[in-house]
Structure 1
Amino acid sequence: METKAKCKFCYRSYVYHPGGATTTLNRHLANCTQYQNKLAKAKAQGTLNFGPDDGNSLVVNPTEYDHEHTRELIAKMIIAHEYSFRMVEHKWFNILMKWMNGNYEFIGRKSIKNECMRVYESEKNQLKRSLKEAESISLTTDLWTSNQNLQYMCLVAHYIDENWVLQCRVLNFIEVDPPHTGIVIAQAVFECMVEWKIEDKVTTITLDNATNNDTAVTNLKAKLLARKNSVFDPNYFHIRCAAHIVNLVVNDGLQPIDNLITCLRNTVKYFKRSPSRMYKFVEVCNNYSVKVGRGLALDVKTRWNSTYKMLDTCIDYKDAFGYYEDVDTSYVWKPSDSDWVLFGKIRPILGTMAEATTAFSGSLYPTANCFYPYIVKVKRALIGAQQSRDTYLMSMAAAMLEKFDKYWEEKNNVMVIATILDPRFKMRYIKWCFAQIFDPVRCEIEINDINQELERLYNKYEILNRQKMGDNGMNRQSTIASLDTTSSMASIASDFQSFLQSIVTESSKSELLIYLDEPNEPIDNKHFNLLRYWNVNCHRFPVVSSLAKRFLAVPVSSVSSECTFSNAGRVIDDYRSSLKPATVQALVCASSWIRGTYEDNNHPLVVGDDEDDVESIEFPKCMVSSN
Structure 2
Amino acid sequence: MGFDSRCVILVRGKHLSFCQFWLYDIFATCKVRMEPAKKRKTSPMWEYFDQISHNKVKCLLCSRELGYSNNTSSMLRHYRAMHEMKEGHAGDAGGPAQGTRPTRKQDLDEALVNLIVKDTQPFSVVEDVGFRAFVALLDPNYVIPKRQAVKAMVEAKYALERSKAIADMQKVVAVSLTSDMWTSINMDAYLAVTCHFVDDNTRLNSVLLGVQQFSQTHTAENLARVKTSLMEEWGITDKVTCLVTDGAANMISCGKHLKLRHAICIAHTLNLIVKKSLDMTPVLSDIRAKSRKLVGFFRSSTLAKEKLVSVQRQMGRPTLKLLQEVETRWNSTYHMLQRLVDLREPVGAALASLNTDITTLTSAEFTTISGCLSLLSGFNDATIELSEEKNVSGSKVVPLLKMLEQMLQEEMAKTAEAVAKEMGEHLLRQLRERLHTLQSMSIMSLATLLDPRFKLIGFF
TM-score interval, normalised by the smaller of the two chains: 0.5 to 0.7
Corresponding residue for residue 209 of structure 1: 247
| Mapping 1:400-439, distance limit 5 Å | 400-408=427-435, 409=437, 411-423=440-452, 425-430=453-458, 433-434=459-460
Q: 2: distance between equivalents of 1:135 and 1:170?
A: 18
Q: How far 1:198 sits from its partner (Å)?
A: 0.4
Q: 1: distance between equivalents of 2:238 and 2:308?
A: 61
Give SS of 1:153's match.
Answer: strand
Q: 2: distance between equivalents of 1:106 and 1:66?
A: 13
Decide whether aligned partners of structure 1 residues 126 and 380 sit closer, same or farther in structure 2, where only a CA change above 3 A counts: same
Which protein, 1 or 2, shows the higher relative CO under an 8 Å CA cutoff with sep ≥ 6?
1
Decide whether aligned partners of structure 1 residues 297 and 306 sit closer, same or farther in structure 2, where only a CA change above 3 A counts: farther
Give unpaired runs (5+ residues) of structure 2. Answer: 1-86
Q: Is 1:194 aligned with 2:222?
A: no
Corresponding residue for residue 145 of structure 1: 183
| Mapping 1:423-462, distance limit 5 Å | 423=452, 425-430=453-458, 433-434=459-460
Share of identical aligned residues, percent? Answer: 23
| Mapping 1:126-525, distance limit 5 Å | 126-147=164-185, 149-221=187-259, 224=260, 237-255=261-279, 256=281, 257-268=284-295, 270=297, 273-274=303-304, 277-278=307-308, 297-302=321-326, 303-315=329-341, 330-362=356-388, 364=390, 367-384=393-410, 396-408=423-435, 409=437, 411-423=440-452, 425-430=453-458, 433-434=459-460
Give SS of 2:177's match.
Answer: strand
Q: Are the counterparts in 2 of residues 268 and 297 from structure 1 also a CA contact under 8 Å? A: no
Q: Are the counterparts in 1 of residues 307 and 350 from structure 2 also a CA contact under 8 Å? A: no
Q: How far 1:173 sits from its partner (Å)?
A: 1.6
Q: 2: distance between equivalents of 1:377 and 1:216?
A: 32
Q: How far 1:350 sits from its partner (Å)?
A: 1.1
Q: Deviations over 1:412-447 (max 9, x none)?
A: 243443334333x132222xx51xxxxxxxxxxxxx
Q: Deviations over 1:366-398 (max 9, x none)?
A: 632343443322222334467789876665444
Q: 2: distance between equivalents of 1:387 and 1:209?
A: 32
**Backbone CA RMSD of aligned residues:** 4.2
Decide whether aligned partners of structure 1 residues 367 and 128 sit closer, same or farther in structure 2, where only a CA change above 3 A counts: same
Q: Are the counterparts in 1 of residues 190 and 213 from structure 2 also a CA contact under 8 Å? A: yes
Q: Are the counterparts in 1 of residues 274 and 427 from structure 2 also a CA contact under 8 Å? A: yes
Q: Is 1:110 aligned with 2:140?
A: no
Q: 2: distance between equivalents of 1:313 and 1:192?
A: 43
Decide whether aligned partners of structure 1 residues 331 and 277 sit closer, same or farther in structure 2, where only a CA change above 3 A counts: farther
Q: TM-score w.r.t. structure 2 length?
A: 0.64
- Letter paired with 2:395: N
Give unpaired runs (5+ residues) of structure 1. Answer: 1-33, 47-61, 225-236, 287-291, 435-627
Decide whether aligned partners of structure 1 residues 331 and 118 sit closer, same or farther in structure 2, where only a CA change above 3 A counts: same
Decide whether aligned partners of structure 1 residues 152 and 305 sit closer, same or farther in structure 2, where only a CA change above 3 A counts: closer
Aligned length, in residue pairs: 361
The structure with more radius of gyration: 2
Give SS of 1:426's match.
Answer: coil
Q: 2: distance between equivalents of 1:326 and 1:90?
A: 45
Q: 1: distance between equivalents of 2:297 and 2:308?
A: 9
Decide whether aligned partners of structure 1 residues 71 and 316 sit closer, same or farther in structure 2, where only a CA change above 3 A counts: closer
- Letter paired with 2:241: T
- Letter paired with 1:342: T
Q: Are the counterparts in 1 of residues 244 and 263 from structure 2 also a CA contact under 8 Å? A: yes
Q: Are the counterparts in 2 of residues 368 and 418 from structure 1 also a CA contact under 8 Å? A: yes
More helix by proportion, 1 or 2? 1
